[in-house]
Amino acid sequence: MRLPSSSRRWCLSALTAVATAASLGLPAQAQEPKRGGTLVVGTTQAPRHLNGAVQSGVATAVPSTQLFASPLRFDDQWKPQPYLAESWELAKDGKSLTLKLRRNAVFHDGKPITSADVAFSVMAIKANHPFSTMLGPVEKVDTPDPQTAVIRMSVPHPAIVLAMSPALCPILPKHVYGDGQDLKSHPRNSTDVVGSGPFRFVEFKPGQRIVMERFDKFFLPGKPYLDKVIINIAPDAASLQLGLSRGEVHMIPGLTVPADLKRLASDPNLSLTPKGFEGIGALNWLAFNTEKKPLNDVRVRKAIAHAIDKNFITKALMGGFAKPADGPIIASSPFAVTDVVRYPLDLKKSAELLDAAGLKAGANGERFKLTIDYIPGSDDQQKAVAEYIRGQLKKVGIAVEVRASADFPAWAKRMATRDFDMSMDIVFNWGDPIIGVHRTYLSSNIRPIVWTNTQNYRNPEVDKLLDAAGGLLDPTQRKAYYATFQKLVTDDLPIDFINVVPYHTVTNKKVLNVPTTIWGPFSPYDEVALK
């Protein structure tokens, strides 16, 4: 689809730096996909409901992106592509985005998708989605005709185009969800879901399975190839992997456990790929509660960082599948820089910093005590690293208790209420720093909610840098601001960045067109097929 010249000009200018991102390449299509078949996806992630407009996270993203279409989608080089919108144009002042919708698009109940539905959805996402910065500047959406939606913003908002992505901007039917009920608890989030995407709702049994079937009136001719997508949910990853080996499960996204990856890689019927998680941008890190003594002293935080060997963690604990992380923006992002403050393993320097902070060792060699929490259910990225850190800090006189949480809500409550000293955490960049990075460092986002600035980190200069970068359209200028931000944050060290989470998608070799764009398995499966 050829875009209007204005859209082409914007794509060339606004994404100059984005094009420098690592080209991961789509897999070559071995044969012409055939229609039919059922794709069985295995996961341990159980969504509460299926509406990505009010819920973040990969558990919801997989089904939501099949049920609901978004205005745009992205390729493997961070470039926007037409989807529900056949063309788009960002105004020169960056304060409006015009979307031209396809005329043949209908919801699963047969009613046409119009600009009124886009307007309703965008404003609903702004009001209900946990990513407050994603659509923060949006003031309204004009609908001059049924196929034109104009998103109006109070200030230039460079993340607005990426915010039109599948996992972030599902287009909902206004005639279903605009009935006055609370969207977060709307009954149609889980039952009798009416969507706009390539697959329509059949069944949702929470904690068990989600069944979706081909929507024959999908707006892209000949798509999707599959007849049905079934998401099997099981708390036991081993049973899902056994099903994969037996051919009963075709795809498992988001595997990280080194032993599992090694075993599955040796199966001649399976394929593994780390591609498709660049948009998610998952970082595994050690967060410090900077309002608690002695962690309010940056020398103590730096001493802890110098006691940790990231290379040992990634190579020994994670089997070489993971890579070290050194900053708040993942290396695969076009806004990442290498000029950051690093903390190589140096136990002598660690001890010197603790001494300088006045934390001398007692007769038993102990300086002080801390606790370290971790997210339950991800032992390879969380518990194992926490236990390793405990052992390392003992070497410099810090006694650490590794504290388990009963379940994710219990851990999340500790983070939200800042009832912790240190905690392992996995946090996503979500494509654009405005969406996934700013939330962790802005002092205005110190809130009693998990995955906000729960470190209680305050730096007025960082606030100014992020606010300025969030209003710049030129990617080169934005990168300059983010470069300074990354240097400052790694020097202040509210977080010690440990590693990039080594997510992999494992598939049966019968699966064609495995999704490996920047959103990978969290994008529509309309091009996925089975041999």
**pLDDT digits 0-9 by tens, 399-433:** 999 999 999 889 999 999 999 999 999 999 999 99
Report the percent of the chain where pLDDT is more than 90: 89
Shared domain for 253 and 371, answered yes or no, is: no
Q: How far apart are CA 172 and CA 123, in angstroms?
A: 11
Shared domain for 358 and 251, answered yes or no, is: no
What backbone torsions phi and psi does residue 460 show, to the nearest 5 degrees?
Answer: -55, -35
- Give me the long-range contacts of 445-452 (CB less than 8 A, separation at least 24): 445/132, 448/416, 448/417, 448/418, 449/130, 449/416, 450/412, 450/415, 450/416, 451/130, 451/415, 451/427
Query: Is residue 382 pLDDT above 70, yes or no?
Result: yes
Shared domain for 350 and 435, answered yes or no, is: yes
pLDDT at 236: 86
**pLDDT digits 0-9 by tens, 317-362:** 999 999 999 999 999 999 999 999 999 999 999 999 999 999 999 9
Q: How confident is the model at residue 173 (pLDDT cuts 50, 70, 90)?
A: very high
Q: Does 147 map to a domain?
A: no
Burial (0-12, 13-18, 19+ Cβ within 10 Å), 107: buried
Length of the chain: 531
Mean pLDDT across 450-470: 96
Q: Does 404 map to a domain?
A: yes
Shared domain for 355 and 378, answered yes or no, is: yes
Strand partners of residue 497: 285
Query: Is residue 2 pLDDT above 70, yes or no?
Result: no
Q: Does 110 map to a domain?
A: no
Mean pLDDT across 129-155: 95
Shared domain for 374 and 434, answered yes or no, is: yes
Shared domain for 361 and 452, answered yes or no, is: yes
142 and 157 Cβ atoms separated by less than 8 Å: no
Residue type, 389: I
- Going 245 to 250 to 256 to 261, the CA torsion angle's sign is positive
Shared domain for 368 and 449, answered yes or no, is: yes
506 and 321 Cβ atoms separated by less than 8 Å: no
Q: How confident is the model at residue 294 (pLDDT cuts 50, 70, 90)?
A: very high
Contacts (Cβ under 8 Å, ≥6 apart) of 38: 226, 227, 228, 229, 230, 530
Mean pLDDT across 246-253: 96
Identify the CATH number of the domain in which residue 323 sits. 3.10.105.10
Query: Is residue 503 pLDDT above 50, yes or no?
Result: yes
Place of tokens 């959103």: 519
Q: How confident is the model at residue 310 (pLDDT cuts 50, 70, 90)?
A: very high
Shared domain for 425 and 510, answered yes or no, is: no
Q: Does 157 map to a domain?
A: no
Q: How far apart are CA 513 and CA 289, in angstroms?
A: 44
CA 134 to chain centre: 13
The more confidently predicted of residues 195 and 18 is 195
- Going 272 to 278 to 279 to 284, the CA torsion angle's sign is positive
Give the H or E element holding residue 468: helix 460-469
Shared domain for 193 and 210, answered yes or no, is: yes
| Region label for 192, one of left (φ > 0), alpha (ψ between -120 and 50) or beta (otherwise) | left
Q: How confident is the model at residue 448 (pLDDT cuts 50, 70, 90)?
A: very high
What backbone torsions phi and psi does residue 495 show, to the nearest 5 degrees?
Answer: -140, 135
Shared domain for 516 and 494, answered yes or no, is: no
Query: Is residue 11 pLDDT above 60, yes or no?
Result: no
pLDDT at 308: 98
**pLDDT digits 0-9 by tens, 89-106:** 999 999 999 999 999 999
pLDDT at 130: 85
Other Cβ atoms closer than 10 A to 406: 8
pLDDT at 53: 92
Q: How far apart are CA 448 and CA 62, in angstroms?
A: 27
Angle at Cα 524 formed by Cα 88 and Cα 509, nearest 5°? 135
What 8-state DSSP symbol labels residue 162?
G
Q: Mean of the per-residue pLDDT values for the chain?
A: 93
Q: Does 519 map to a domain?
A: yes
Contacts (Cβ under 8 Å, ≥6 apart) of 340: 326, 327, 486, 487, 490
Domain containing 262 equals 5-82+170-276+504-530
- Give SS3 for 508: strand
pLDDT at 20: 37
Identify the CATH number of the domain in which residue 236 sits. 3.40.190.10
Shared domain for 201 and 289, answered yes or no, is: no
Residue type, 27: P
Query: Is residue 28 pLDDT above 80, yes or no?
Result: no
pLDDT at 442: 96
Strand partners of residue 87: 100
pTM score > 0.95 for this model? no
Report which of 51, 278, 295 is spatially closest to residue 183, judged by C-alpha positions: 51
Q: How confident is the model at residue 57 (pLDDT cuts 50, 70, 90)?
A: confident
The domain total for the chain is 2
DSSP secondary structure of 55-81? --SHHHHHHHHHHS--SEEE-TTS-EE
pLDDT at 31: 55
| Region label for 260, one of left (φ > 0), alpha (ψ between -120 and 50) or beta (otherwise) | alpha
